[in-house]
Amino acid sequence: MDMADFPIAGTNEIETVNYKEKKVYVNKHQYFENIAPEIWGYYIGGYQPAEKWLKDRKRRVLSFDDIERYQKIISILKTTIELQAQIDEAAL
């Protein structure tokens, strides 16, 4: 299972939010990995949830629960994209 791992120990502070090569950096050293481009670029109501959730917490320190919550958000977005594709395919 692809999971949005948070593999590097550090301050857990969200200093910036940058996406590069399937990684979402929250500061210079720490990142969530295994974030597919379609998940990062997915929009709901004019927002990218994968980006917005982190940006709304800028300058905060992520707790263990926050990290788990973000991992669940990524998993839910992946499932949503897959289900939408199935619905679109069935509609043809």
Interval 30-57: pLDDT, tens: 999 999 999 999 999 999 999 999 999 9
Rounded to the nearest 5°, which phi and psi values hold at 31?
-160, 160
Sequence ranges of the domains in the chain? 18-91
Residues 74-87: tens digit of each pLDDT: 999 999 999 999 99
Give every strand in the sheet of 18-20, ordered side by side.
18-20, 23-25, 31-33
Average pLDDT over residues 1-27: 93
Report the run of H or E that residue 19 belongs to, with start and end. strand 18-20
> Per mean pLDDT, which range of 23-27, 31-35, 57-61, 87-91 is the poorest?
87-91
pLDDT over 70 at 72, yes or no: yes
pLDDT over 60 at 1, yes or no: no
Measure the CA angle with vertex 86, ends 84 and 88; round to 5°.
70
Using pLDDT thresholds of 50, 70 and 90, give the confidence band for residue 92: confident
